Amino acid sequence: MTRSAIPGLQAAGPMEQFEILPIVPLTLGNLDVSFTNSSLWMVIGVGAIIIFFFAATGRRALIPGRVQSIAEVLHEFVADLVRDTIGPDGLKFFPYVFTLFIFILVANFLGLFPTFPGLPHQFHTFTTTSHIIVTFALAMVTIAIVIIYGLAKNGLKFFNLFAPSGLPIWLLPILVPIEIISFLSRPVSLGVRLFANMLAGHIILKLFAGFVISLLSAGGAVMILGIAPFFGAVAIFLLEFLVAALQAYVFAILTCIYLSDAAHAADH
Amino acid sequence: MSDGAKQDPPSLDEFAKRLDAARGASEPEGSSPRASGVELGRAFRVGSEMLAGLIVGGLLGLGLDTLFDTKPLLLLVGILLGFAAGVLNVSRAFKAAGKAAGKASGTDAVQNGQKPSGQG
């Protein structure tokens, strides 16, 4: 029985979900700037965020409704985060941290939506944050802000970050390179962590779901065994919900920590 | 008189007190979901902080190697320094998180019978 017992039932490969497919092919000179499924899901994410916050802030009632409550809780959560990590003067970074947090959160959660059955491949659900170029770009923006703000606020004292005060001179040749590497590793760890978590989670999810399909298509008594990976997939899906929220939170809190370093570099 | 007292809206201070009392009553023992989320976030950080230090150190060493044509030497130095930077990253992650946790869950620690200052 090599053929599927149920026609049309076939497991997709675990990596197919990460393929970038052009929807509207565009070129700019030699550059391929096609509107891809990745772009589509970013637009959907940003659109969802804009619609949600317009709906939430439309009424501005003293006693908030359901939608307004969610927006207020989100706002308060990020504002607390920024105030606790950077200090009261850090609230000028609130718009950036909030945008970053909400974008990553929504992108992660959108990736968990099931695909509407029967859609062509380029309209399948796509997790934009499962591509390292996206997460790394976000991390680079954060580090660029840290460097520019740090230099603007502290001037050359910003480089005190690499040479902690109160250190014997002979330790400097060892510690300064270590501090520089540590600083340079920040965008790498920021980008890699988010990307790796989303990638690994979606691969595992797809593998478990693939087991269910394979067992079901085997037919006969073997089909009953499919219940085990099915519950596995449900468990992984729940875990992915946690990871999606947690990774957005970690990205936001690390952005705050790095910004706080830049703001207080002169005190080192 | 009792009627009048009933009709007076309770002052905000009093309301805050009652709200705090109600919140304290419903507060679960041990760690709150948010605190455990923070813990989990820290756990997720450690691995990638270490890895990122090693990657950056190794790549820097390799780049300087090709620049100065000293093939394996600076790569090794870079990996060593990268390892040190990774350890530094991890220790910083724990220090920052410990400071934040100590500030946020000061009441929790008192509830559990261990004062934060008792450790120092």
In chain A, what percentage of residues exceed pLDDT 70?
Answer: 94
pLDDT at B117: 41
pLDDT at B118: 36
Average pLDDT for chain B: 71
- Distance from B33 to chain A by nearest Cα, in Å? 11
Residue pLDDT, tens place only, A30-65: 888 889 989 999 999 999 999 999 988 888 777 888
Cross-chain Cβ contact B41/A185 below 8 Å: no
Cross-chain Cβ contact B100/A249 below 8 Å: no
Mutation for A interface: B32, B40, B46, B49, most A CBs within 10 A:
B49
| Distances B94 to A193, A244, B43 between C-alpha atoms, Å | 17, 22, 9
| Closest in A181, A192, A247 to B51, CB measured | A192
Q: Quick one: pLDDT band at residue A75, thresholds 50, 70, 90?
A: very high
Highest mean pLDDT: which of A116-120, B78-82, B113-117?
A: B78-82
pLDDT at A44: 94
Token digits of residue A30: 């030699």
Which residues of chain B neighbour A264 with C-beta distances below 8 Å? none
Residue pLDDT, tens place only, B28-47: 544 455 566 667 667 777 88
d(CA A158, CA A245): 33
The interface predicted TM-score of the complex, written ipTM, equals: 0.72
A130 or A1, higher pLDDT: A130
Cross-chain Cβ contact B48/A84 below 8 Å: no
Cross-chain Cβ contact A181/B81 below 8 Å: yes
pLDDT at A235: 93
pTM of the model: 0.79
Residue pLDDT, tens place only, A176-231: 888 899 899 989 999 999 999 999 999 999 899 888 888 888 878 888 888 899 99
In chain A, what percentage of residues exceed pLDDT 90?
Answer: 39
In 3D space, the residue among B79, B14, B28 whose CA is nearest the CA of residue B53 turns out to be: B79
Cross-chain Cβ contact B96/A193 below 8 Å: no
d(CA A105, CA A246): 9
Residue pLDDT, tens place only, A137-146: 999 999 999 9
A2 has pLDDT over 50 = no
DSSP H or E stretch at residue B36: helix B33-68
